Amino acid sequence: RVRTVDIVVPVTRSADVAATCVRTVLESRNATPFDVIVVATGASAREFAALSEGFGDRVTVVDAEGVDAEAELVTHGVALHGDRDVVVLRPDAEVHGDWLDRLVAHAAEPGVGVVATFTDSSGVATYSRARSEGGVPQTWSAAELDRVFARVNRGQSASVRQAAGVALYVTRACIAAVGGLRSVAVSGDAPDPWNLAERARDAGFDTRVAGDVFVGGRAVGRPTDEGEGGRETPDVLRLFVGRVDV
């Protein structure tokens, strides 16, 4: 039996952007059943609720009263159904096609605990040329890029040392093993990408990037990850990018 996946969207600002994210989730075409859990607080929760009319019962809005740290919001969403795998989507994420089915396929591989994706925003595997120089036309949408990644890199993934990006699939077994996503947060803010991957690895779980999933992102109010610590681009990821350029 195919198990339902929870898609958790923490909202600390820009409820209108989060509503657009959720709309792309609902419009995507997946065989995997899923529920969307939007976790917000105060004005953000009220604003999102007003924007979410018509989303139906596949979207649950959780008002985490008094909570404004992203890690705490994620924790509220992850705890709602304790037996489900989770996708943590940044509220500016833009998903398309059968993106979830592809992530589920990677997560089902033995030993996999976390799966990240390619993106044009900040993350472990960025394809920045999608909106800048060379490679592909700047006019290509996230949906078009996702179709190309899905076709060219179908079923391929690579092991990486950090869990970062606009979309992270985390298995329930991995969540239990690392002690919950809150336990890998830094100063009560977002889960630390290095800490999460390291603790997952210590518990026997691999962190991988799906070569066949591209998720767009606006990175609203967020810095890129090009600064100290650098962006991880293993040779195998360069190979993925090279294939897409062809």
Output the pTM of the full model: 0.84
Report DSSP letters for the chain, one per residue. -PPPEEEEEEESS-HHHHHHHHHHHHHS--SS-EEEEEEE-THHHHHHHHH-TT-GGGEEEEE-TT---HHHHHHHHHTSSTTS-EEEE-TTEE--TTHHHHHHHHHTSTTEEEEEEEESSSSSEE-GGGGSSSSS-TT--HHHHHHHHHHHSTT-EEE-S---SSEEEE-HHHHHHHT-GGGGBSTTSSBPHHHHHHHHHHTT-EEEEEEEEEEEE--TT---S-STT-----HHHHHHHHHHH-
Q: Is the pLDDT of residue 97 over 90?
A: yes
**pLDDT per position as a tens digit, 117-127:** 998 877 788 77
Higher per-residue confidence, 233 vs 24: 24
81 confidence band (pLDDT: 50, 70, 90): very high
Q: Which of 140-144, 173-177, 191-195 has the highest mean pLDDT?
A: 173-177
Q: Flag the least confident range among 27-36, 115-124, 237-246.
A: 237-246
Q: Flag the least confident range among 48-52, 126-130, 229-233.
A: 229-233
Q: Is the pLDDT of residue 17 over 80?
A: yes
* Per-residue pLDDT, 70: 79
Mean pLDDT score, 129-147: 67
Q: Is the pLDDT of residue 101 over 80?
A: yes
75 confidence band (pLDDT: 50, 70, 90): confident
Q: Is the pLDDT of residue 189 over 80?
A: no
* Per-residue pLDDT, 218: 67
Mean pLDDT score, 100-120: 95
Higher per-residue confidence, 124 vs 157: 157
Mean pLDDT score, 128-154: 73
Higher per-residue confidence, 161 vs 208: 208
197 confidence band (pLDDT: 50, 70, 90): confident
Q: Is the pLDDT of residue 134 over 70?
A: no
